[in-house]
Amino acid sequence: MEGTRRIWVGLAVLAASIVLAFVVLWPRLAPREPAPRGPQPFVRADLPRIDVHVHVPPSRTADAVRIFAEQGVSLAINASGGEPDGGGLEEQIAASNAVGHRMLDYCNIDWSQVEDEGFVAYATHALDRCREEGAVGLKIYKALGLGYELSDGSLLAIDDARLDPVFAHAGELGLPVLIHSGDPQAFFRPPTPDNERYAELSAHPGWSFYGLRENGLPWPSWQEVFDQFERRVARNPGTHFLGAHFGNAPEEPETVARMLEQYPNLYVETAARVPEMGRFRASRMREIFVRFHDRILFGTDFQMGSRGQYVLGSSGSEPDPPSRIPFFYEATFRYFETGDRGFAHPTPIQGDWTIDGIALPHDVLADFYAHNAERLFHITIPAPEDRR
């Protein structure tokens, strides 16, 4: 009797074990239904990022750096650093120092005195002062080529020979030149409803370079301004140029690739042009980024005004609400990091289209986001213990 009981108990334990094993293992062994392919939440790559093109005033530096950290940007370089010796640069550098160097600054200089005898002396001295005060580069606005009117009514050209020694001196000082030349090609076409940037031109009529200037002389064409930029890069091989807004030709990535091939002193950054770049064939854009992985840098053109107003790439007649900031960064990173197709780009007013991501390999992303900026500007991202 005892033996029979033991057998029954043994069988019961065995049966319980089989049931238990089935319950535990079945979910792992059963053929699985594919998960429904809804929109996948985007998670940005775990990489340090340096944004080489932002605009922030001294009074907003601490706020801006907080936003950058939240959005995965470890360090930013401010294109609105100001001019040395009382033109705002000292104040901005002090503000940047106060945030543990998580912001660095370009300086600006005044090109309007080019016809004066002492211009070259002024400009080269100003660059010396930029370096001494702690600027890491020189930023040149699109006004060079489109804004400085000379005494004969013409516009100061980017490749004007009088500027040669100034660009050469920037090279001698090791100050890279972030240069914005021209503007979107659509801004040089009639600002009519069929212009693809009509919304933006309607909000900012002054951004149009079509037709005649106020003095009755014609605006240069987009191509004329771009050719001046190219001749300047060619003329100063000892100076590092960082072509803003994807080399000032986001509509023509093949032109940008041709120039990167031709001029080893040229670098480009991506500020405010993901919407335009994202229209181009993603596979070819990826090839360009891989081919020039050491000379394409990450920039956004994030702008913050002294009253805290934001411009995220571009805006309408009103500044952008702060609620748009996370989307702006996410759409930007998504373009570089994923192969997603047909998603909304970061700056709606730049055009009514969607973009395709270029899925950069991890090592290319690491160069693009940080290593290239570290090499070009001779900087390093502050270690966490240095941050205040």
Residue 304 vs 370, nearer CB to Zn ion: 304
d(CA 84, CA 40): 48
Does position 269 interact with Zn ion (CB under 5 A)? The reply is no
Distance in Å, CB of 376 to Zn ion, minimum:
17
Count of residues binding Zn ion (CB under 5 A)?
1
- Of the candidate spans 120-128, 298-306, 315-323, 329-337, the one that interacts with Zn ion by CB under 5 A turns out to be 298-306
Residue 92 vs 124, nearer CB to Zn ion: 92
Distance in Å, CB of 61 to Zn ion, minimum:
16
Distance in Å, CB of 162 to Zn ion, minimum:
25
- CB-based contacts of 274: which residues, under 8 Å, 6+ apart? 313, 331, 332, 335, 345, 346, 347, 355
d(CA 278, CA 286): 11
d(CA 274, CA 325): 15
Buried b (16+ CB within 10 A) or exposed e, 230-261: bebbeebeebbbbbbbbbbbbbbbeebbebbe
Residue 301 vs 356, nearer CB to Zn ion: 301
Distance in Å, CB of 125 to Zn ion, minimum:
26
Residue 183 vs 301, nearer CB to Zn ion: 301
Residue 289 vs 302, nearer CB to Zn ion: 302
Identify residues 82-111 at the interface with Zn ion (CB under 5 A).
none
Buried b (16+ CB within 10 A) or exposed e, 332-347: bbbbbbbebeebebbb
Does position 301 interact with Zn ion (CB under 5 A)? The reply is yes
Does position 183 interact with Zn ion (CB under 5 A)? The reply is no
Residue 79 vs 157, nearer CB to Zn ion: 79
Residue 252 vs 269, nearer CB to Zn ion: 269
Rg of the chain (C-alpha set): 27
> How many helices and strands in the chain, by DSSP H and E?
15, 12
3-class secondary structure, 307: coil
Distance in Å, CB of 178 to Zn ion, minimum:
9
Distance in Å, CB of 85 to Zn ion, minimum:
23
d(CA 46, CA 316): 33
- CB-based contacts of 168: which residues, under 8 Å, 6+ apart? 236, 238, 239
Residue found by looking up tokens 């973009």 in the block: 355
Distance in Å, CB of 40 to Zn ion, minimum:
32
- Of the candidate spans 64-72, 123-131, 191-199, 294-302, the one that interacts with Zn ion by CB under 5 A turns out to be 294-302
- Of the candidate spans 104-112, 232-240, 280-288, 295-303, the one that interacts with Zn ion by CB under 5 A turns out to be 295-303
- Of the candidate spans 114-122, 132-140, 297-305, 353-361, the one that interacts with Zn ion by CB under 5 A turns out to be 297-305
Identify residues 190-219 at the interface with Zn ion (CB under 5 A).
none
Q: Which residue is nearest to Zn ion (CB)?
A: 301
Residue 200 vs 301, nearer CB to Zn ion: 301
- Of the candidate spans 105-113, 134-142, 202-210, 299-307, the one that interacts with Zn ion by CB under 5 A turns out to be 299-307
Residue 124 vs 350, nearer CB to Zn ion: 350
3-class secondary structure, 80: coil
* Burial label, 44 (beta-carbon count in 10 A; 0-12, 13-18, 19+): middle
Distance in Å, CB of 315 to Zn ion, minimum:
13
- Detail the DSSP E strand segments found in the chain: 50-55, 75-78, 103-107, 137-140, 177-179, 241-243, 266-269, 296-297, 302-304, 310-312, 343-344, 354-355
Distance in Å, CB of 169 to Zn ion, minimum:
23
d(CA 186, CA 200): 10
- Of the candidate spans 101-109, 218-226, 273-281, 296-304, the one that interacts with Zn ion by CB under 5 A turns out to be 296-304
Distance in Å, CB of 301 to Zn ion, minimum:
4
Contact footprint for Zn ion (CB under 5 A): 301
